[in-house]
Structure 1
Amino acid sequence: MFHNTTRTYIINTISHLTLSHTCNNTKVTRSFKKQMMKNRYPLPERRWFVAMAVVGLIATAMFLTNAIRTSETSYLCPGALGIRSKTRTEFSYDASPIQLRAILHYATSRVVPQQSVSEIKISLDVIKSLGRPINFLVFGLGHDSLMWASFNPGGTTVFLEEDPKWVHSILKDAPGLRAHTVRYRTQLRDAKGLLTSYRSEPSCSPTKAYLRGNEACKLALENLPDEVYETEWDLIMIDAPKGYFAEAPGRMAAVFSAAVMARNRKGSGVTHVFLHDVDRKVEKVYAEEFLCRKNLVKGVGRLWHFQIPPSNDTHASRFC
């Protein structure tokens, strides 16, 4: 019963959106029908609940850009039918292509984002509070990437991923995403040693740390694309790289580099940094070392939210 109700709700939601965009987005409508034919079998109840919730969150992001305006409209495409449309004032749901694609994807896919709905909502609430397109950097590319991009229409959303094959796989289904492959110099097995040795390396110190070309500091991501270094990021999400086996890169460098970016911010305001999987020891220890407990403003599930201000302290010996 729940499966059918949920499926009907999502189909009706997307049908309404695609109908209102039929004149200019016939490809979206055709794509929706094709996807529904591929996914005729119901998902497990929990996945459908998450899928519905994600669709709702994306719809919330869409409504942020809605406007009431006077326009010439009709319930069908009047130009195509040769019918003169009526002028009236109504809500205009101007969803961006990335938002429509995201709704279509999560309503018809058998995979859902790894973060819980309550964890996802923290990030969306911050994006809403900023009230403008933002610069959003995400460590990790995966089944939630289309969702993150849809939350930031008109803004810059960039994904960093360590596995080239995985990048190719995701971009095949979502070619509009901006993603770069990252080479990490760390392994999870070295996490404890790196936490000790970085303090003796001047280029890792809180007053001198930098990223681009910083080969001396093993925690610095020194070879990222130029746009990553040249952009001041409003929000940084750390949900990668892999950190659950000894040979994995671990998230040590991602956490350190996010802290350096935030502290070196030149513009006004803070940098919002989100770290996932804080139930794991390395993520928790590195967060407390570089992102700082004093900057922790909220935690839900396995996600911590930090607000990190720019740092002008030229005598600091520790990040925290």
Structure 2
Amino acid sequence: LPHDLMTALVHYASTDTTPQQTREEILMTAKVLASRGPCNFLVFGLGHDSLLWKMLNYAGRTAFLEESEDWIRQISEKHPELETHIVEYSTVLTEADQLLEHARSNRKGKCTAVQNLLLSECKLALNGLADELFQVEWDVIMVDAPRGYFPGAPGRMAAIFSAAVMARSRKTGNGTDVFVHDVERPVERSYSEEFLC
């Protein structure tokens, strides 16, 4: 048994902290990772389930994007093997409708579905990510952050838009599978339907 996998099994067998996703949600992602893996897996969010995602993509690249430097430090102390990157969101959940209208009115311009996010002028584009992340063709992307459950939160608008652009701008391979957690919430649902369907 590989050391990293053994460590993950021991971690989950000895903790009271459980992932926020349901068993069915985890299994759905696990099946896609099994069929595509090892692959390039980008996760918006860093949490108690991050080690699980890395191990389900064993021998692949799994990168986590997180808005809180303090949270990155806390998780990295426990799991230094995780690849983490800081991300800054300039959106606020209460602006979701205006941002969606901005994207719709600029669909053929700065908010086009296929573009270089690094150079994008769309208000929803996450172009402040580490340059190396733009060089990767991501096989699977999971949007499980940022926070989107209170009015002042960043919301997942920019993460969903940027995941869609990364998926559609891919030049090789078999496309990109994108998962959005909490898709039953209005913003996650409307942005997923707008940009991922």
User: Which structure 2 residue ranges, 5 or more long, are not aligned?
Assistant: none
The equivalent residue for 1:112 is 18
> What amino acid sits opposite 1:287 in the alignment?
S
Kindly state the Cα deviation for residue 142 of structure 1 after the two structures are TM-superposed.
Answer: 0.4
Establish whether residue 224 from structure 1 lines up as the match of residue 148 from structure 2: no
Is 1:137 paired with 2:42? Answer: yes
The counterpart of 2:160, out of the listed 255, 272, 279, is: 255
Check if 1:101 corresponds to 2:7.
yes
Distance between the aligned counterparts of 2:191 and 2:105, measured in 1? 17
Is residue 152 from structure 1 mapped to residue 57 from structure 2 by the alignment?
A: yes
Structure 1, unpaired ranges of 5+ = 1-94, 293-320
Quote the offset at 1:199 in angstroms. Answer: 2.6
Q: 1:158 touches 1:178 (CA, 8 Å); kept in 2?
A: yes
2:116 corresponds to 1:199: no
Which one has a bigger Cα radius of gyration?
Answer: 1
TM-score (norm. length: structure 2): 0.95
Structure 1 residue 203: deviation in Å?
1.1
1:68 maps to none
Higher RCO, Cα 8 Å, sep 6+: 2
Question: In the alignment, which residue of structure 1 is the partner of 2:145?
Answer: 240
- SS of aligned partner of 1:212: helix
Q: Does 1:122 align with 2:38?
A: no
* Contact map agreement 2:34 2:57 (CA 8 A) in 1: no
Verify: 1:182 aligned to 2:93, yes or no. no
Distance in 1 between the 2:29 and 2:4 partners?
18
What's the CA shift string for 1:173-229, capped at 9, x where partnerless?
A: 11110001100110101000000012333211235x331032x21100011112210
CA separation in 1, counterparts of 2:35 and 2:19?
22
Deviation at 1:149, TM superposition (A): 0.4
Match of 1:213 in 2: 119
Q: Is the 8 A contact 1:112 1:144 kept in 2?
A: yes
Instruction: For residues 48-93 of structure 1, give each alpha carbon's deviation from its aligned partner in whole angstroms, at most 9, with x where no partner exists.
Output: xxxxxxxxxxxxxxxxxxxxxxxxxxxxxxxxxxxxxxxxxxxxxx
Separation in structure 1 between the aligned mates of residue 131 and residue 168 of structure 2, nearest angstrom: 18
Report the Cα offset of residue 268 of structure 1.
2.3
What residue in structure 2 maps to residue 62 of structure 1?
Answer: none
Give the TM-score normalised by the residue count of structure 1: 0.59
Q: Secondary structure at the match of 1:273?
A: strand
* CA distance in structure 2 between the partners assigned to 1:99 and 1:118 by the alignment: 21
| Rounded Cα–Cα distance in structure 2 between residues aligned with 1:226 and 1:96 | 31
Partner SS for 1:204:
coil
Q: Which amino acid letter does the alignment assign opposite residue 119 of structure 2?
A: G
